[in-house]
Amino acid sequence: MTTTTTAPNPTTTLKPLPFTSLNCSGAIDLVFLIDASDTMTAQRFEIVKSQLLIAIDQNGIKWDNNDNNTARVGIVLSTGLAPGEPNTPYRYLDLKGCREYSSLGNCQPTIFNTQNLKQAIQDIPFYGGKNDMGLSMTIPLKGDYRGFANMYYVFGDPLFGASGDRANVPDAMIVISGVDTNNCQNPWNCSGNVTRAANQYKLKGVQLFSIGFQYLPISDLQAMSGNPATAFSTTPENLGNIIKHICSGI
């Protein structure tokens, strides 16, 4: 008599890699990708801004154009630039301290020191619109020169691997998302593939971290960071403490 057993189907899980904290008080090119979509809500967005200001102080993040051993901070918004509009990744601040992209390469920096940086964070507008983290993660790495339908907005050069991204300085991105990572409707502007984007960052040598709020599944956050050890679920009011952990390991 022969007994036949059926092996269970293999399951695929994301294997945790070692957690390595950032040295945020030293030389680092750090980009914050922030959900500024309808599902984040203006109220939560204001909390995020206040927590970022706390994180700047807690972690000794300093910007000094005269000292290359200090940080440069970029800020990208995942937004539709207006309530209900399709996702249009928005270049709020690049690593050169410029607020707007110039195709001629002659942008006018507005950030020269830490106080300028903190003021820029306070001034971040909330636009609303659809959230598409797959697209919003891809554009800072690839750039965009075609513009996006409806808004005719051109993101311009990538933040990583372009002018302003310093050689021999660690690159990192912290993704901050609200409730929904892929609330988009138009197929032309709805990649939604955060896993592919995370892999591209790894290949580029950019350390990637994700922080999510409320009912955002931890599996979504792990896909965004590409590593369970660098994905964090918390409340908006605790964002500063998570960034402190990312910067210090404590």
pLDDT, position 101: 76
pLDDT, position 18: 81
pLDDT, position 215: 80
The predicted model gives 70-84 an average pLDDT of 95
pLDDT, position 182: 54
pLDDT, position 106: 72
**What span, in angstroms and rounded, lies between the C-alpha atoms of 210 and 227?**
9
**Every domain of the chain and the residues it spans:** 32-248
**What span, in angstroms and rounded, lies between the C-alpha atoms of 199 and 206?**
10
pLDDT, position 145: 86
Compare 100 and 125 and report the one with higher pLDDT: 125
pLDDT, position 107: 85
| Bridge-based pairing state of the strands 231-234 and 207-213 | parallel
Q: Is residue 178's pLDDT more than 70? A: yes
Write the pLDDT tens digit of every residue in 19-59: 899 999 999 999 999 999 998 999 999 999 999 999 999 99
Q: What contacts 92, CB < 8 A, 6 or more positions away?
A: 75, 76, 77, 99, 120, 124
Locate 95 and state its tokens: 């690593």
Most distant CA pair in the chain: distance in Å? 82
pLDDT, position 187: 38
Q: Is residue 143's pLDDT more than 60? A: yes
Please report how the helices 42-58 and 239-248 are oriented relative to each other, as an axis angle in degrees rounded to 10. Answer: 40
Locate 184 and state its tokens: 């988009």
Locate 73 and state its tokens: 């901070």
**What span, in angstroms and rounded, lies between the C-alpha atoms of 184 and 190?**
6
Q: Please give the helix or strand (H or E) that residue 6 lies within, else none.
A: none
pLDDT, position 192: 52
pLDDT, position 5: 43
The residue type of 207 is: Q
Tell me which fold the domain 32-248 belongs to: Rossmann fold (3.40.50)
Beta bridge partners of 35: 78
Write the pLDDT tens digit of every residue in 193-232: 889 999 999 999 999 999 999 788 898 899 999 999 999 9
The predicted model gives 78-100 an average pLDDT of 91
Compare 185 and 157 and report the one with higher pLDDT: 157
pLDDT, position 150: 60
- pLDDT mean across residues, the chain: 87
Percent of the chain residues topping a pLDDT of 70: 84
pLDDT, position 2: 45
Give residue 169's pLDDT band: very low, low, confident or very high (50, 70, 90): very high
